[in-house]
A and B are shown apart, each in its own frame.
Chain A
Amino acid sequence: MNSERKVVLLNITKSEYKAMVKSASPNSHYGRDIFLAFVIGGGICALGQCFLNLYLLLGLDEVAAGAFTSITLVGLSALLTALRVYDNIAKYGGAGTLVPITGFANSIVSPAMEFKSEGFVLGIGAKMFVVAGPVLVYGTAASILYGLILWFFHLY
């Protein structure tokens, strides 16, 4: 009822206004965004490959080298977040910096930094997973589901 009154007043219906908003709002530069995500995300993956080759060269087996690669990328991302650099790369990288494991590290370190002012327990401890939490919850749930399916097919 309330909205009906406004419609009469401003001579505009809600749906007309939505169309006006759409044409007045600038769109994202999809071409540029996709290109940058590809280059920067690809760059992070290439860097990971470099580390992997390095660790293999140093004599680690494939499983250990893979784990060390992840650890290195996570460590680097955490460091760059702490140095207030990662978000500046992500501004251009978009999904390119979000999707790799470095984005996950950033999503945990950044709230830990942000909520330090509320103390170690109610700040860092309670808020550290405020961004990454859903990924952990649904990631774990999905892996249980996957495990069950795998178990079911292995029965036969």
Chain B
Amino acid sequence: MPKRIGKYTVELETLPAVAGFAAVVGKKESEGPFGSCYDQCHTDTTLGQSSWEKAESLLQNEAVHLALKKANLKSADINCIFAGDLLNQCISSTFGLRSLDIPFLGQFGACSTMAQTLAMASLFVESGAAARAAAVTSSHFCSAERQYRLPLEYGGQRTPTAQWTATAAGAIILGTRDQYKTAGVGVQAVTFGRIVDFGIKDANNMGAAMAPAAANTLTDYLNDTGTKPTDYDLILTGDLGLVGSRLLEEVMQRNDKDIRPVHRDCGLMIYDRKKQDVHAGGSGCGCSAAILCSTILQQMGAGKLRKVLFVGTGALMSPTSSQQGESIPSVAHLVYLRS
């Protein structure tokens, strides 16, 4: 059963197992540093679909199918799927997964969705509510641009602090430890974050808005468990980008918790920032999902990484709230993965 430790953290005693995982990405992501790690790379940004929304739905659908295939399962074997994305009413998830016939629970956590869905799925498995549960999320540069920003062909300039929404999806299938005794990777603890708002209003600097949320959740977890950053092989945030990563490290240092030796950020990993013209790095639900569901879980499976704190960060604003001059509330959820 899940056991609460400290004020904010929940420990999973049975270590729900990662039975399968997959990442599907677009062209720009496949040209990034981890291009060879993804399960499927699309060279056509439309994925052969008539709208960007359909393209993103397909990304998510493919990620789940590939993860199921790698876990040697059918969709009927999954008791529950947690899914979310950036689009209004989470239509990438609902339309992408409607053919799967799996009990569906939609989630919105902005770019923290991978951590949120993974945490929920692991709790369901741990508690016995599901024998197998799935977590999936996606984002698409073009569908996000049209909803949050400006038309693609509009001639505008991006600020140096802006992040590039990744065209990517990632899915993870979790199962009970009884079924997967030999599975390498499991979820040991989760910490759900509180909403933090330091008054940042610039929607082109989301890393700055989200960094305090990441620091807050990470501090909660470390305090609850009585551990220190260097007890872990990797603290993986997603997706703070260049500005947010700097700020997180600075905030943590001020709180006497130096994370610099073990910290990496998915937003800084997914692209070659200098060559690919992405300014402060990547963002979007799919960014951390694709990095986690490829190189990180692969390295954990191979035993190269053993203790990983995955901290998904989300900026919880909408175009309406930004237009009304509101600041950006943020949240970060933490999942402790162990192999």
Query: Within the complex, which residue of A2, A24, A94, A106 is in contact with B246, where a contact is CB–CB below 8 Å?
Result: A24
Contact, CB under 8 Å: B153 / A21: no
Contact, CB under 8 Å: B198 / A90: no
Looking at A25-33, A52-60, A67-75, A134-142, the stretch in contact with chain B turns out to be A25-33
Closest to A91 in B: B157
Contact, CB under 8 Å: B247 / A21: yes
Q: How far is the CA of A108 from the CA of B196 in the complex (A)?
A: 38
B47 within 8 A of A: no
**With contacts A21-B247, A24-B246, A114-B146 known, is A10 near B215, CB below 8 A?**
yes
B255 / chain A contacts, CB cutoff of 8 Å: 10-11
Query: Within the complex, which residue of A26, A86, A117 is in contact with B155, where a contact is CB–CB below 8 Å?
Result: A86
**With contacts A86-B155, A117-B50 known, is A131 near B247, CB below 8 A?**
no
**With contacts A90-B156, A98-B155, A106-B155 known, is A25 near B243, CB below 8 A?**
yes
Contact, CB under 8 Å: B200 / A21: yes
Chain A positions 114 through 125: 1 when the CB is less than 8 Å from some CB of chain B, otherwise 0:
110100000000
**With contacts A12-B254, A14-B198 known, is A114 near B151, CB below 8 A?**
yes
B1 to chain A, nearest CB (A): 29
A1 within 8 A of B: no
B294 to chain A, nearest CB (A): 28
Contact, CB under 8 Å: A131 / B150: yes
A17 / chain B contacts, CB cutoff of 8 Å: 198-199, 212, 251
Q: How far is the CA of A110 from the CA of B153 in the complex (A)?
A: 5
Chain A positions 54 through 89: 1 when the CB is less than 8 Å from some CB of chain B, otherwise 0:
000000000000000000000000000110101101
B40 within 8 A of A: no
Query: Which B312-331 residues have a C-beta within 8 angstroms of A?
Result: none
**With contacts A9-B219, A21-B205 known, is A28 near B155, CB below 8 A?**
no
Looking at chain A's contact residues, the main secondary structure is helix
Chain B positions 236 through 251: 1 when the CB is less than 8 Å from some CB of chain A, otherwise 0:
0000001100110011
Interface bin, chain A: 35 or more
B216 within 8 A of A: yes
Query: Within the complex, which residue of A10, A91, A106, A110 is in contact with B219, where a contact is CB–CB below 8 Å?
Result: A10
Q: How far is the CA of A10 from the CA of B215 in the complex (A)?
A: 8
B53 / chain A contacts, CB cutoff of 8 Å: 117
Closest to A37 in B: B157
B152 / chain A contacts, CB cutoff of 8 Å: 87, 110, 113-114
B61 / chain A contacts, CB cutoff of 8 Å: none
A50 / chain B contacts, CB cutoff of 8 Å: none
Contact, CB under 8 Å: A26 / B156: no
Contact, CB under 8 Å: A114 / B208: no
**With contacts A9-B219, A20-B250 known, is A28 near B154, CB below 8 A?**
no
B335 to chain A, nearest CB (A): 21
B160 within 8 A of A: yes
B161 / chain A contacts, CB cutoff of 8 Å: 25-26
Residues of chain B touching chain A, judged by Cβ–Cβ distance below 8 Å, are 50-53, 146, 150-161, 196-200, 205, 208, 212, 215-216, 219, 242-243, 246-247, 250-251, 254-255, 280
- Told that A2-B197, A10-B219 touch, could you supply 8 new A-B pairs with CB distance under 8 A? A6-B197, A6-B216, A11-B255, A14-B198, A25-B243, A26-B161, A94-B157, A106-B155
Residues of chain A touching chain B, judged by Cβ–Cβ distance below 8 Å, are 2-3, 6, 9-12, 14, 17-18, 20-21, 24-28, 33, 81-82, 84, 86-87, 89-91, 93-94, 97-98, 103, 106-107, 109-111, 113-115, 117, 131
Sort A-B residue pairs by CB-CB distance and give the 3 closest, nearest first: A90-B155, A114-B151, A110-B153
A sample of 22 inter-chain contacts (CB < 8 A) reads A3-B197, A10-B216, A10-B219, A10-B255, A14-B199, A20-B250, A21-B205, A25-B208, A25-B243, A26-B161, A82-B153, A86-B153, A87-B155, A87-B156, A90-B154, A90-B156, A91-B155, A110-B151, A110-B152, A110-B154, A117-B52, A131-B150
